[in-house]
Amino acid sequence: MDFDTHTGQWPANNLALSQTVAAFLQAWQVTGDRDYLEKGENLLDYLLLYQQCWTNPVLKGMTGPAMLLGGFTTQNSDAEWSDARQSQCGNILLDYYRATGKAEYLERGVAALRAQFPISPSENWAHSGYGGKAGVSSFHWGSGSGLAGIELEAEFLRDAIVDVVSKAAVGVNGLNVTKCEIDAGKITLHIDSPFLWQREPVLVFRNVGSSGDYALTVNGIATGTYKAVELESGIAIPFRAASSVRADDGVAAVSATDFLHSLGACTHIGQGIDNPSQSPAALAYAGWRNVRDEGSPRHLQDWLLQKSDGTFELVVWSEKAEGTNRVMVDLGQTIGR
């Protein structure tokens, strides 16, 4: 084993390091000697040099910019990303959060526990430093260890967790906490989710202290005033996915035309060219402007959509508040009947 003069490090595997970090915490818990806790935190800081704070965009199979965020590599002389040991590291980080109350350990711990799921059933990603999903050596080192890691913390974390003292909030189970304000006995949160919830998510509050009751507001709705013991037990929040909120929930109504127009602008569906001759594929999934309206073509919108069975549907609508449009649709080619 050669000393790396560039990094100033000897080759090291972090599996033993993570267990040493856990051992120092247990020694402090048994003896009460804070020297063990301080040494454990120093070693934990070194271990966190192995935690990923980004997703390498050149790796294959990436589904989002945060796919590998929070995972752990294995050593400073190897190359894999998001190895299965990250679940154990997540549990250790949360143990240190409970011991110290430092919100950074909470945020890093949750990120480590969640990091296994984007790569399952594999035990890591880009095993040789390049490529994508790696192989499966066994269920217990990968999917199994990831499930066990999050299950061990399920009651402590619930669906989202708020540290009152540090005013930090972390989404855990399919929730994003986009706003957290805590001041003068008031807790204001905003949460969203890409999923349609079939039950009420539970928010749990830690490090609440004994400064009195807190009034909780989530997504603009006052849910009630709670004592510390209630917050620490968890509060069920009436909630659906953001996409399922309807106009009668107090959100301004949006017409179907405005909704489709905005969605098309966001996804680039239905936005194309005015001249069909410029498009080699007249029936493309993204669709293109191919509607001719005598007088005011800007009033018309269209989407050309392709189903999974290969058939197409052309949707045409008018944005005129009144009146009618006389429309000619030119598909650019003869279509069989």
Q: Give pLDDT, residue 81.
A: 92
For residue 276, what is the DSSP state? Answer: G
Q: Integer distance in angstroms from the first to the last C-alpha of the chain?
A: 73
* Top-confidence residue, 232 or 301: 232
Q: Is residue 327 within 8 Å of 292, Cβ to Cβ?
A: yes
Q: Is residue 278 within 8 Å of 296, Cβ to Cβ?
A: no
Q: 121-179, pLDDT tens digit by residue?
A: 889 999 888 888 888 888 888 889 999 999 999 999 999 999 999 999 999 998 999 99
Residue 147 CB-density burial (10 A; 0-12 exposed, 13-18 middle, 19+ buried): middle
Would you place residue 241 in the very low, low, confident or very high pLDDT band (cuts 50, 70, 90)?
low
Q: How far is CA 72 from CA 12, 36, 154, in A?
A: 14, 24, 21
Q: Give pLDDT, residue 317.
A: 66
Is 0.75 topped by the overall pTM?
Answer: no
Mean pLDDT, the chain, integer: 81
Would you place residue 14 in the very low, low, confident or very high pLDDT band (cuts 50, 70, 90)?
very high
Q: Give pLDDT, residue 90.
A: 97
Q: Give pLDDT, residue 86.
A: 94
Dihedral angle sign, alpha carbons of residues 273, 278, 282, 284? negative
Start-end of H helices in 32-63: 34-47
Domain ranges of the chain: 1-157, 158-251, 254-329
Start-end of H helices in the chain: 14-31, 34-47, 86-100, 103-114, 143-152, 154-157, 228-233, 256-267
Mean pLDDT over 238-267 rounds to 48
pLDDT of 95 above 70: yes
- Choices 1.10.3210.10, 3.40.50.300, 1.50.10.20, 3.90.1150.10: CATH for 1-157: 1.50.10.20
The phi and psi torsions of 114 (rounded to 5 degrees) equal -80, -20
Q: Give pLDDT, residue 77.
A: 84
Give DSSP secondary structure letters for 80-143.
Answer: -BS-TTHHHHHHHHHHHHHHH--HHHHHHHHHHHHTTTTTTTSS-B-TTSSSSB---S-STTTH
Distance CA 85, CA 96 (A): 17
Q: 261-292, pLDDT tens digit by residue?
A: 444 444 444 333 333 333 333 333 233 333 44
